[in-house]
Homo-oligomer: A and B are copies of this chain.
Amino acid sequence: MTAPSESFAPRRDEPLFGRLAIIGIGLIGSSIAHAAKELNLAGRIVLSDRDEAVRTRARELDLGHEIADTAAEAARDADHVILCVPVGACGAVAAEIAASLKPGAILSDVGSVKNAVVEAVLPHVPEGVHLVPAHPVAGTENSGPDAGFPSLFLNRWCILTPPEGTDAGAIARTRHFWEGMGALVEVMTAQHHDLVLAITSHLPHLIAYNIVGTAEDLEAVTQSEVIKFSAGGFRDFTRIAASDPTMWRDVFLHNKEAVLEMLGRFSEDLSILTRAIRFGDGETLHKHFTRTRAIRRGIIALGQEKPETEKLRKP
């Protein structure tokens, strides 16, 4: 008998949920399936995807214990149902599975915006079912059922945004589920979540998509030159701008107010820097470039990232 190989997080003796349903088998859905199976977070894991090719691939990859043909079938009798579909699809999927949800079940999602998801999903939640929306702040530039891996959520934040009055026990079980996969859990309102993520995630993505597009359209600089000399800073933007287009389209359509607010502030600030460059105002530039270092120090102090030299020294 060989000893079981060590996992990235402790494996549970008893599963946390009897039946776990994962609707949508992309990067997040497949990662949850890997983690929940490896760590025994659910006795039975059933996945589904509306795309038949994805379901076939998920069976080949042996994700979870069963691949159901429909979302409703996957959700039937589940104790925890997680919608891992683009934000814009959450309402329709909730309507589709509503009749299959059993009383006491927790309905959750993993969307990057929360207010719009709550508004779209809540009308379909049957009496006795607990809606506990979640947003794991984790991802890679890859998408699809092959992209998932069990440690994706390790040491990453997962934000829960339960509507007011949500059952405390359901919130606690959802928290334990994410903590079980190694995530750090925080609870806040959907409104505040959308504002925080607008600046820490949505605006950076929009800016990254934008600058990569600008680079593509140049006539005087070739695309191969852009690629060749990208180490100067551009490369980091291309990684962000390689994220899933459908997911990000939905994020911007569904967190419009907060993103437009942050975009407005960003553009105002950029005008000041542009003006400083135009008029050769080195003092304004230097002052601005100095104060932005503080936030970086905070991120490194929090252990969310190592300084860059370490990475370079040990490639």
Contact = CB atoms under 8 A, between A and B. Distances in A.
B229 A269 contact: no
Contact of A215 (B200, B209, B243): B200
Given A265-B217, A277-B253, A230 B292 contact: no
A307 B142 contact: yes
A209 B207 CA distance: 12
Copies of the polypeptide in the assembly: 2
A293 B278 CA distance: 32
B225 A196 contact: yes
Interface residues of A, number: 109
A152 B201 CA distance: 30
B299 A238 contact: yes
Interface stretch (A44-52, A62-70, A133-141): A133-141
A229 B137 contact: yes
A295 to B, nearest CB: 5
B242 A293 contact: yes
Interface in A136-152: 137-142, 147, 149, 151-152
Given A204-B233, A210-B270, A295-B227, A308 B215 contact: no
A270 to B, nearest CB: 5
A200 B304 contact: no
Report, nearest first, the 3 A-B pairs whose CB atoms are least far apart. A201-B232, A204-B233, A245-B289
7 contacts: A139-B232, A199-B221, A200-B232, A204-B233, A227-B302, A243-B289, A263-B277
